[in-house]
Structure 1
Amino acid sequence: MFESILGMDDLSTVQHIGYASESRMYDFTLVFSDHFFGKTLVTCLQSGNSSLLDFHDVSDVSVVKRVFRIQDDEIAHEVSALLQSKIPLAKKFDQYE
């Protein structure tokens, strides 16, 4: 038996983008929603790694490296720049006050 604690409909916008480095291909799906404190749900389709990220998060290369398990600094910078070009700069929300 389970109890539903949340259920809502949302008209989301989804964007698929691809990036090829010299050593690997990255396919990302970005889900833009009015939920998640203005953050975008970013999923790497190769690894299945997902995270809620905003512009400030993807601007931090260490976050990009950790979330998507990227070892190479140059590739992480390129992925960061790619995601910065797709994720809007939005106001920050106070989370879980």
Structure 2
Amino acid sequence: MYERLYDDMERVNVRFIGMTTENTRYDFGIMYTNLFFGKPLITCMQTGRSFLMCAEDAEDVEHIQRLLKIQDSTEATAISEFFKVTLPLTSTEVQYNE
């Protein structure tokens, strides 16, 4: 037995961005949606890990380390800086046109 919580369909914009740190290449798919309080859904193509994040969330370097399982804090800081300039500032910003 289960309870369906939601079943929504929407057209979304997806942005694909590749970036590199000193040691590692990252390829991210960023899906802008009205779901999840407006936070983009980010998928790391190398690991398949997905998470919700806005620029405010990207300030937490330790959280990024845990999400992407990064050992090096310098690398996590570089990714944090990347997300802070790439993602919307708050979870309430609309990032696409219908």
Same fold (TM over 0.5): yes
Q: 1:63 maps to what in 2?
A: 63
- Partners of 2:3 and 2:51 lie apart in 1 by 26
Partner amino acid for 1:24?
Answer: T
Q: Which runs of 5+ in 2 are unaligned?
A: 93-98
Moved over 4 A (4+): 1-5
Gaps of 5+ in 1: 93-97
Q: Displacement, 1:23?
A: 2.1
Q: Which has the higher contact order (CA 8 A, sep 6+)?
A: 2
SS at match of 1:55: coil
Quote the residue 1:35 is aligned against. Answer: 35
The residue matched to 1:75 in structure 2 has which SS? helix
TM-score normalised by structure 2 residue count = 0.82
Percentage of matched positions with identical amino acids:
34
1:84 corresponds in structure 2 to: 84
Task: Let me know the Cα RMSD of the aligned residues.
Answer: 1.9
Give the number of equivalent residue pairs: 92
Query: Is 1:9 equivalent to 2:1 in the alignment?
Result: no
